[in-house]
Structure 1
């Protein structure tokens, strides 16, 4: 408590001290455009020779933003803007005294390689959101949606627009044509849009901007200049229909006698995506029978703590406009909407009789989904998503009889999200509601919730020109189901109501619903000067449950967090920039147990030669876990000290590399973890890039939880000394024939092996010294049965086995790869050729990692998937 009061005092001191600093004001630039009228539109060929460009003046006078803010850039830039009733046009002149030194590097879309220019258009002029269009000198498009005043950049937005570039004796030029249907704006007779442009001068890794934005500004979008002269524009209601046809062949090693594993499967499929502009502000997205076969596979991982793993969303339908649906209420991953729940693996796992065979779907089919989203001219962000997933059945064949077992019910998912800006866009208030309803037809699925609902409100207020802010949210959840389902929820890893020493919790087997709350309040300084700071309080009540459509790792927690950071605003000595963070956090459970105190120190150094060094240290003097014994008592971790360093070379070079070392140790060497990671990126020619990243980790834990059992009605929590080694490698090849035709390969072999010894039982889980927390089994108490592959424990040494432990040694081997050829044969329409490979197996824990690589990956036949997918986008 003393540490908490000191932290609060320091935070308040900095907060009060900073009120005396003045808020800088930067004059806003204004560019006035003109309509083409009767003039012909410019031909998009990269040459600024069309007569139509002459009706407007150039604007320029870019100012350096990075690394030396508010100085003259190495080279100047200027642009013009014109428009007609359907398009807005941008013409750029990027001067360069050495045109031969201009760096033309091809990449896939959104690659941001080489020299480029970018235009940001905030057509709502809301000081929070903006559309981004970037053009590389090689003609590669990069686009995205900026939200939260520049803090979030979503690169998965892929609008239709047109680009051509050209290099000449003065430097290089670019012409851009953007359909007004791709932008959102009001129906006012005269528009005022916020505008910004950025140029990357690759040779010195320099950024210059049209509208100056100081590095200590309160944000990005709120500081834009203005685009005027937009008169008589009519909002365009976007209507796009994109059907697809797909053929898929899967080959794999046949399994003798198994009618479901004949060696190959063929599938012909089709579906439809549509985008309909209900108004110019609000869009309805539809998908019918979607397929995401071209999406890259998730990275491999192995989990020993029992918690679920968070994976990023990559499916295009769910990624677009995800910022509107986002409701991160506590830590980064805690969210009321986690779209990976829709279309996930079926939940049911039937028991298969001996000698029978089973086929079960890998994913739940999405029958259809609709998403209504956008932002109005009045500052309302609106999002509604409705999705229905199909019933899924497992097929079980025993002798000649085939039985179908329902493993996933027909399920409806809904999320509604609104947010309103006010107070000159300095404040907002929002709300969210989600619902999941399942049609549970059989008792076999009674372990699932029949319904799940969440609701929340959030707000934010900025003051003193966004120098300070206060934000918060509150969420509530309710899940309903059978007594079996609610009991299972109480006992799962997120909740663990069965913890033996939790006086505030107990499992109620008669409950048919759970209701919980959570939330966060945060206050801080966001701009002006070198210093930033913030403090927050977060809570998640024991009954809070979000995992039907959201993501929640652990409930029953109250956390206090504080951060102070310092960043340089000007280069000095050998440094372009230095950023340093000092963090402190503590947390408690709802019984008042003091579970953690943690201090972190992080510094990031960017040198003038563009190398980057990062160092991190974390000290945990107090660290208890309510979950490590998975229902057992609160368990103490030893005092821990974590440190890491990483080095990244100059990213402008064609050959670049990085190294990182992570190391942590518990007091008295009770546990340790060391990981070494390295990577290289090599671009021998502008069209081809090869990258390789590899990591090797070694984990030693003398008190690794294994399982729990009972002896004479007393619970037993069993741990052992774990020695685990993991090797992972990722390989990427990118070949860009032209900006619209790319070939990409991704492959990841992953091997992890763990061996256990020194088995023991927990006797005093909160003891200070790790050796006092457990009692080792001696040679007269434990015996390994090779035939049954288990350990037999005779705890009282009476010659009778009291309980058994299945041999926990493991070796997990996985290989995943994707080879994707993508051709955008006309803007918005694509052809995909995909070859995927996969191997997953349990290896031999007695072998080393490299022999497992040879026998389990190189020496086995993989599962191959060949896919052809073609889409065509109709714009009506």
Structure 2
């Protein structure tokens, strides 16, 4: 039996659907490349002799709005190569050259415009690839493709591209260094290759082989690139040292500091590379969004640091585009979160055909202000001592030079983070993998003032292991993805750590988890997605990973009906029904939630898009609301609606709207409560080199009585929480050239949370506490009401003065409001009255890196 036929039959049986797998469409033509004769200048103009003799690929077709039809404009692609580079020349003919959208943006943020995207599957594994994009204004963007369809622009590479508008359209010229790509050592290369052109004014998506939006396939549909012979990756070492100087002003004290560091990359083989960093400085990275978390689960923050973004896709769970999964073994934001990163190395690539590996090891280590640390150890007030303005060498941070007074009085123990992954292709569309993580403190360092060896301060670590799989039919319509994982806790205090749901984790405890997703995920008009996840009470992947909840299982089913190629007045429309349920996994099988949701999302002919949900949440219980008690507390049932709308992003002025509205059902204490959350965003592009984004959000949601503590007499206290939050965010971009950009970011968050009236209840014998068990609290109760406001400002000038070498000038400011005095009445105003008089930190940084 042929491999493809075997695989299509197996997926049909596993997923349990009667309809057979669809056959992939055969490409109409292939790409061909020729060796370059002479040098090529990457100037966007295809005027060298090598371009005139190169084979031309022009068999493009529409994938949107009408798949399979002829494009309105002609596109030609030419490919030439030499021992070091692959050159791509694209001629985008246009009958209305004056209407070409050529907005200029910062690197990796191409504005809505005329764009060409070059996608390369150099391993020809039909699952992973690279994408290099350039628009008519010359802005570059790159990324990695994983799991056939997931594109992440977090990956950054050093390559060149230029574009030019002509009398008959526009042209693009790309130079892709072969060292960026992984490919086998064979006499003649056979790669997967794809080119996509997007025409802004007509909203057309033209592809070198048709890939409808409903296909749930991308890399597996690529056509072939042939005729590249005699390519050798060769060993190559790239070094990028940097020097960063800072002036930080805090509490009227200016702290100058200097950091030096090094990034390096070594190509060990044609498809295996080693990257590393020593004392990385991420001061040029935009600050995280200001958020207030009133829930009982950890928030997820996307990775922004360049070193961790490189090759990050290999460490992410299968089927995850951004690493946000309920059971992620590796969450890179754990590294360097509270303790500086001293250094890290990462090995990624292919060790044999169809086998990919990834290995990462990082060490975090920090130093303390010796004067303040000694004062705390002796029970003295460190603020009563003179500041230690000495510059001393600290072995824990050997490449950081700053006055002792700028260092903290306490740091966590030096810790090693390790992650390893291997994935192999069993057959076309069938992959399995394994991953391990380990977090190990390097010393038994105790916090300042705690005797060494005290069991209460033993540093805590943990290990995780997982096996994953991804089975896809050749068309991509049918798929089955999943993961089985386990964890082990190491170290920590002898009494263990008490989790919010009442589970106590001690050193040596192990947990188990799994998740599955499968069904008919692509095609039309019907789709069916089934998913299930299970986390045992003692599953704890948070030492190195991201796991928002444990002691929970969830089952979902989502049925959709629609078309991606036009349905009535819509260019694309999908409607569906989503049903889900959650239960505890601690042996009690407590039902935590049941929901039914109607969904709809679509695209209008003018490229405006919308998304809509109307649902009912009922039977809600929360095991984590009463911290550490193991009691399932009732949450109100409610009906809700979600509506999101975004106008055509190619217009000079566009906006987006996101609205949420809910109403609790008539239950005790929650009758008729209405909550809402509204966000409105505006994007203005008056000139190709200028872009302004402004977003405002107002949150007024509520969720019935919340736990606030106990009364000291064995009764649990609750209170109604009325929260109100306002956020204002501004992003301003000025592009002088594609390599010289100025960017400003500012966010203001202000809000309050008012608690009251207060209720009390005794701990239930059956482990479930309902609203009917609550009574009005008597006596004095501590009021946890709060008011908050904070401001983040980030100004960045970025100049890539040489390919791969950059100069950053950064100003940042972080400020919080003054805390209210004891006993003060908490304001219910959204005005940040004491913000400007509150504590602040201002930093000016100059950072230069040089690559060779």
Q: So what's the TM-score if we normalise by structure 1?
A: 0.86
Pair 1:336 & 2:335 matched = no
Q: Deviations over 1:430-466 (max 9, x none)?
A: 1111111112133468445544111111112234644
1:605 to 590, 602, 606: 602
- Name the counterpart of 2:472: 462
- Name the counterpart of 1:487: 496
Structure 2: distance between partners of 1:842 and 1:663: 33
SS at match of 2:184: coil
Structure 1 position 340, deviation (Å): 1.1
Structure 2: distance between partners of 1:91 and 1:329: 33
Structure 2: distance between partners of 1:21 and 1:306: 42
- Name the counterpart of 2:415: 411
Structure 2: distance between partners of 1:479 and 1:764: 29
Structure 1 position 527, deviation (Å): 3.1
| Change in CA separation of 1:702 and 1:111 when aligned onto 2, cut-off 3 Å | closer
Mapped contact 1:813–1:843 kept (Cα < 8 A): no
Mapped contact 2:368–2:410 kept (Cα < 8 A): yes
- Name the counterpart of 2:9: none
Unmatched runs of 5 consecutive residues or more in structure 2: 1-11, 376-380, 389-404, 446-451
| Change in CA separation of 1:768 and 1:635 when aligned onto 2, cut-off 3 Å | closer
Mapped contact 2:215–2:475 kept (Cα < 8 A): no
Q: Deviations over 1:205-241 (max 9, x none)?
A: 2110112223443410000010100111112434211
Structure 2: distance between partners of 1:316 and 1:366: 13
SS at match of 1:213: coil
Q: Deviations over 1:229-283 (max 9, x none)?
A: 01111124342110000001111233xxxxxxxx111101110000111112111
Q: Deviations over 1:277-328 (max 9, x none)?
A: 1112111111101111011111111223443322111111111111111136
Pair 1:115 & 2:114 matched = yes
SS at match of 2:509: strand
Mapped contact 2:17–2:519 kept (Cα < 8 A): no
Unmatched runs of 5 consecutive residues or more in structure 1: 1-11, 255-262, 346-363, 498-506, 783-791, 793-804
Structure 1: distance between partners of 2:240 and 2:14: 54
Structure 1: distance between partners of 2:753 and 2:419: 42
| Change in CA separation of 1:17 and 1:436 when aligned onto 2, cut-off 3 Å | closer
Structure 1: distance between partners of 2:56 and 2:813: 53
Structure 2: distance between partners of 1:44 and 1:107: 19
- Name the counterpart of 1:799: none
2:677 to 675, 678, 684: 675
- Name the counterpart of 1:348: none
Structure 1: distance between partners of 2:13 and 2:727: 46
Mapped contact 1:434–1:453 kept (Cα < 8 A): yes
Larger deviation, residues 692-701 vs 89-98: 692-701
1:474 to 484, 495, 498: 484
1:422 to 412, 426, 432: 426
Mapped contact 1:67–1:207 kept (Cα < 8 A): yes
2:797 to 811, 821, 834: 821
Mapped contact 1:624–1:635 kept (Cα < 8 A): yes
1:320 to 307, 310, 324: 310
- Name the counterpart of 1:366: 341
- Name the counterpart of 1:135: 134
Mapped contact 2:455–2:493 kept (Cα < 8 A): no
Structure 2: distance between partners of 1:111 and 1:482: 43
Root-mean-square deviation (Å) = 2.5
| Change in CA separation of 1:23 and 1:448 when aligned onto 2, cut-off 3 Å | farther
2:627 to 605, 617, 630: 630
Larger deviation, residues 306-315 vs 759-768: 759-768
Q: Where do residues 245-324 of structure 1 align in structure 2 (5 Å cutoff)?
A: 245-254=243-252, 263-324=253-314
Structure 1: distance between partners of 2:93 and 2:186: 37
Structure 2: distance between partners of 1:223 and 1:204: 24
- Name the counterpart of 2:706: 704
| Change in CA separation of 1:675 and 1:600 when aligned onto 2, cut-off 3 Å | same
Structure 2: distance between partners of 1:161 and 1:430: 31
Structure 1 position 376, deviation (Å): 4.4
Pair 1:870 & 2:835 matched = no
- Name the counterpart of 1:54: 52
SS at match of 2:660: strand
SS at match of 2:626: coil
Larger deviation, residues 297-306 vs 74-83: 297-306
Mapped contact 1:536–1:562 kept (Cα < 8 A): yes
| Change in CA separation of 1:265 and 1:328 when aligned onto 2, cut-off 3 Å | farther
Mapped contact 2:120–2:130 kept (Cα < 8 A): yes
2:591 to 590, 594, 613: 594
| Change in CA separation of 1:465 and 1:167 when aligned onto 2, cut-off 3 Å | closer
Larger deviation, residues 21-30 vs 163-172: 21-30
Q: Where do residues 203-282 of structure 1 align in structure 2 (5 Å cutoff)?
A: 203-254=201-252, 263-282=253-272
Structure 1 position 720, deviation (Å): 1.1
- Name the counterpart of 1:440: 444
Structure 2: distance between partners of 1:305 and 1:567: 35
Q: So what's the TM-score if we normalise by structure 2?
A: 0.88
Structure 1 position 722, deviation (Å): 1.7
| Change in CA separation of 1:419 and 1:701 when aligned onto 2, cut-off 3 Å | closer
Structure 1: distance between partners of 2:697 and 2:455: 41
SS at match of 1:407: coil
